[in-house]
Structure 1
Amino acid sequence: MFAEIAVWSFAVLAVTGTVLMLLYDPGMSRVTYDGPYGPLRGLLVSEAFDSTMRLSLELRGGLLIRQMHHWAALVFVAAVVSQLLRMFLTGAFRRPRTGQWLIWVTLLALGMAAGETGNVLPDDMLSGGSLWLIMSVAQSVPVAGTWALSLLFGPDFPGDRVVPVMYGGHLLVAVVVAALLIARELLVRRHGHSRFVASLPARRRARPMMAFATIGMLVILGYGAQIAPVWLYGPAKPTQISAGSVPGWYMGFLDGALRIMPGWEFTVGGHTLSLAVLVPALVIPGIFFTALAVYPAAERFLVSRRGRRDALGRPRSAGRTAREALAYDLLDRPRETPVRTAVAVAGVTFYGLLWAAAANDQIALWFHLTVEAVTIFFRFAVVIGPLVAFVVTRWICLALRQADRHVAEHGVETGIITRSPDGGYHERLAPARQERREPTITAGR
């Protein structure tokens, strides 16, 4: 389901993006705004901002298309994250579907990159803040960062090349995402879905319904939920930034990491190494995506060291029979893999705490605290919270497995009391329902 939502969200992105591409002007030359929005009339703005205002307020249906595009981008990343979490918890990344897992990991990184490059294109006050963050992250990389920044954007930042470069990068990322989704579809046709609930014909029948549901919801959001009102933000200015501005939800964890990271700096060989920006903006995301990519191989290696077992927990020989191969194709219940499930919950906790830390100023305001106190709390919470989540989740999974074994051995309580011939009273127990059944080998499989 999450994969279908991602596919159809990208379809909406492709259609609306094509329309916007025909109407948007990425130029940075200064023009005088003379549109219908009175508070900005007469101001010098860039061609990018002027074209965004024109297609938002003057073109019939333009605002709907632009808001649908923005909402589809948010939903696409949410669907990719949900798909990755589902595959991780159920073990759907195992062979032969490791390639699909790597595609989804890449799509998450590309979705974040597309969101950041797309946010810059309107050249409004909010996108100006994103540009300064990009500049700070690039300059935190010793030697190579400054060189890459001048190569892409020229000697002056922000200059006349910023928006055109981001525009080209945005289109390039969209093409790569489309290619990866096509490759993922080919892999699904080759290897099929993991056997769990729905059969392949049922999935094919549900696909049109999921398409209509996803597209319909994006139309509703684009029509009734305002997002990115550039006329309220105003044109970008290098010396100003909108108060209370925050990035897209999928980039919130980076903003939170930047806010709570101590201001550590070192000088090495005459070069200043700013860990306050380098660690939260590059090191943490690098470790995160690397861990996601290598986890299937790492788990496969650890399982081979402990003794290979199939999805039903039985020792598995080098050559599997057809029945064992189908059994291995079944997905895991999260409780069956306590460590993996605990790792997932710990990761979600770490992400959630960083995401909440991005609002440390708002939390301090609403709860009448100091920003320093909230920041210190999150510095400890991002270390202690995941450890607590890991221990508690593993304990819950082990308790659920023990309860399942008890039910399998003694049966399910029915609440029906019967009297035995010797005069005693006993509760009637029903046989436990088998959560997993031996797969049936059919012709052609």
Structure 2
Amino acid sequence: MFGEMAAYAFVVLVLTGTFLTCFYDPSMGRTVYQGTYAPLRDVGMSQAYASTLHLSFDVRGGLLVRQIHHWAALIFVAAVLLQLLRLFFTGAFRRPRGANWLIWVTLLVLSMAAGVTGTVLPDDQLSGGSLGLIQGIVLSIPVVGSYLSLWLFGGDFPGDRIIPNLYGAHLLITVLMLGLLVLRYRLVRRHGHTRFSDRHPVGIDRRVRLASSGALFCAMCTILALLGQAVQVNPIWLYGPFEPGAITSGAVPGWYMGFLDGALRIMPNWEPTVFGHPLSLAVLVPALVVPGCFFTLLAAYPAIERRFTGDGQLHDLLDRPRDHANRTAIGVAGITFYGLLWAAAANDQIATHFDLSLNALTLFFRVAVIAGPFLAFAVTQRLCLGLQQQERHEREHGIETGLIRQLPNGGFEEITRSPGRDESAGSAIRA
């Protein structure tokens, strides 16, 4: 159901985003706030920030829709990520569904980009920190970085173009995601749904499926409405308008971008000079090289596995993770790598709450992100192989029940149960 959850969250995003577009002004022109929120009255700010405040306090239902939109974005990214994990560990990326895998990988990248561009649009103090990070990443690109920064920001930071540019990028990303979801739906209609066994039905009654899908959509809308009403998220009025050179205390990115923040925090401060020009590897490697390699390998994995295994057959049945030890171990290694970078994004909080040395903790994460995936791979592979060996033993000797009975000749045997069956069969264990 993760695919449908992502699709329904996207529907909510489109509906709420359309509402927000009617009141939002993507302009960095300066104005003086004269709205309802008294603590910021008579304060100079951009029109983008002022329109977001107006949307939050003066438009009926505006704050609720803003928060629903934000929560829907978070759930959409989570659903896409869970869908990718499900496809990977069950082998649902194999032929003829390779294009479906590429669609979900692209959706994950686009959803992260949409989240970043969307959180920057209010032009508050918190989103300004993201703008500074974006500028640093762009400037770290060799040769063309300064030109890209000039084009994005329109001059000295923060310039006067970045909010309109990111607003256009946000809308374009939404259109691309819509096209990918429509394409994914057509591919599912063509190839059908995967299943674990031939004993499972290929499909279910259309009326039952429509009813279950409708129930899931209603549940998704209800949960998002409750979150938007009861759980505050991104209170921009508490952060204030963006002022270059300042930063909000405790500012952190969205959870889905935590791995990038963690990579930046633990990367050594390497800045070699190449042909007389400094090369900022401390930003370039964790912000562009590592994510680029990670997502490239993720997209190419079906082709890589097909090349090494020689499996070019069509597959409609799913695999159990334990039956493919190497694939499952690779997946757990990737999760470990991502999780350690994610945890590294909170190195300062961990050091503060547990009274640890920040430098020692940073050194630990530098070692862990390299050694941790290898350790996770080895442990997971051994677990899968152990489960396979246990199942072979059960098929040959039956499942132990702990019951012993005496034979007429005075010997004893244990009562065992065949795998997948309830009846008992004898397996002689002579005493």
* TM-score, with structure 1 as normaliser: 0.90
Cα offset for 1:47?
0.9
How much has 1:418 moved relative to structure 2?
A: 3.4
Q: Is contact 1:77-1:108 (8 Å) kept?
A: yes
What is the SS of the residue equivalent to 2:416?
strand
Q: Where does residue 400 of structure 1 map in the other structure?
A: 387
Q: Distance in 1 between matches of 2:380 and 2:126?
A: 39
* Counterpart in the other structure of 1:413: 400
Letter in structure 2 aligned against 1:41: R
Q: How does 1:9-408 map to 2 (within 5 A)?
A: 9-196=9-196, 199-201=202-204, 203-304=209-310, 308=311, 328-408=315-395
Deviations 1:44-67 (A, max 9, x none): 011111111111122221111100
Partner SS state of residue 55, structure 2: helix
SS state of the match for residue 22, structure 2? helix
Would the aligned equivalents of 1:263 and 1:275 in 2 still touch at CA under 8 Å? Answer: yes
Conserved in 2, the CA contact under 8 Å of 1:142 and 1:272? no
CA distance in 1, matches of 2:56, 2:201: 43
SS at match of 1:200: coil
Query: Which amino acid in 2 is paired with 1:97?
Result: R
What's the Cα RMSD here?
A: 1.5
Aligned partner of 1:319 in structure 2 is none
Name the CA distance, whole Å, in 2 between partners of 1:188 and 1:302. 27
**What amino acid does structure 1 have at the position aligned with 2:62?**
G
Query: How far 1:427 sits from its partner (Å)?
Result: 2.8
Provide the rounded CA distance (Å) in 2 between the counterparts of 1:346 and 1:167: 36
Q: Distance in 1 between matches of 2:304 and 2:166?
A: 36
Give, in angstroms, the shift of residue 25 of structure 1: 0.8
Q: What is the distance in 1 between the residues matched to 2:324 and 2:411?
A: 41
SS in 1 for 2:213: helix
1:352-408: CA deviations, max 9, x gaps? 110011011111111112221111111111111111111100010000111111111
Name the CA distance, whole Å, in 2 between partners of 1:229 and 1:262: 34
Q: Would the aligned equivalents of 2:3 and 2:79 in 1 still touch at CA under 8 Å?
A: yes
Distance 1:14 1:340 in 2: 36
**1:222 to partner: Cα distance:** 0.9
Alignment partners' CA distance in 1, 2:407 and 2:186: 61
Instruction: Answer with 176-185 or 198-207: which moved more.
Output: 198-207
Select between 246-255 and 60-69 the one with higher mean Cα deviation. Answer: 60-69
**SS across alignment from 1:256:** helix
In the TM superposition, residue 416 of structure 1 has moved relative to its aligned partner by 4.2
3-state SS of paired residue (1:414): strand
Say if 2:6 and 2:75, in contact at 8 Å, map to a contact too: yes
Aligned residues with identical type, % of pairs? 58
1:335–1:401 contact (8 Å) kept in structure 2: yes
Is the contact between residue 3 and residue 80 of structure 2 (CA under 8 Å) also seen in structure 1? yes
Q: Which amino acid aligns with 1:276?
A: A
Instruction: Tell me, yes or no, if the aligned pair for 1:68 and 1:218 is still in contact at 8 Å.
Output: yes
- Counterpart in 2 of 1:317? none
Does the Cα contact within 8 Å between 2:20 and 2:66 map onto a contact in 1? yes
Distance in 1, Cα, partners of 2:179 & 2:415: 58
C-alpha contact 1:142 1:271 (8 A) present in aligned 2: no
The 1:344–1:222 alpha-carbon spacing in structure 2 relative to 1, beyond 3 Å, is same
CA-CA distance at 1:309 after TM superposition: 8.5
**Does structure 2 conserve the Cα–Cα contact (< 8 Å) formed by 1:107 and 1:177?**
yes
What code does the residue aligned with 1:277 have?
Answer: V
Q: Give 3-state SS (helix, strand or coil) of 1:34's partner.
A: coil
Q: Secondary structure at the match of 2:123?
A: coil
Per-residue Cα deviation, 1:101-160 (whole angstroms, up to 9, x for no partner): 000000011001000100110000011000000000000001111112212321222112
Distance 1:431 1:333 in 2: 20
User: Which moves more between the two structures, 114-123 or 406-415?
Assistant: 406-415
Alpha-carbon separation, structure 2, partners of 1:55 and 1:371: 41
Change (3 A) 1:204 1:292: farther
Alpha-carbon contact 2:306-2:312 (below 8 Å) kept: no
SS at match of 1:23: coil
Superposed CA deviations along residues 269-318 of structure 1, whole A, max 9, x for unmatched, are 232110000000000011011101111111111112xxx497xxxxxxxx
For residue 415 of structure 2, give the secondary structure of its aligned residue in structure 1.
strand
Report the CA distance between 1:206 and its aligned residue: 2.5
- Cα distance in 2 for partners of 1:33, 1:335 equals 60
Deviation at 1:216?
1.5
1:204 deviates by 4.7
8 Å CA contact retained: 2:95, 2:312 = no
Change (3 A) 1:341 1:124: same
Instruction: Determine helix, strand or coil for the equivalent of 1:27.
Output: coil
Superposed CA offset, 1:47-92 (max 9, x none): 1111111111222211111001001111111111111111111110
Moved more, 212-221 or 19-28: 212-221
Off by >6 Å, runs of 4+ in structure 1: none
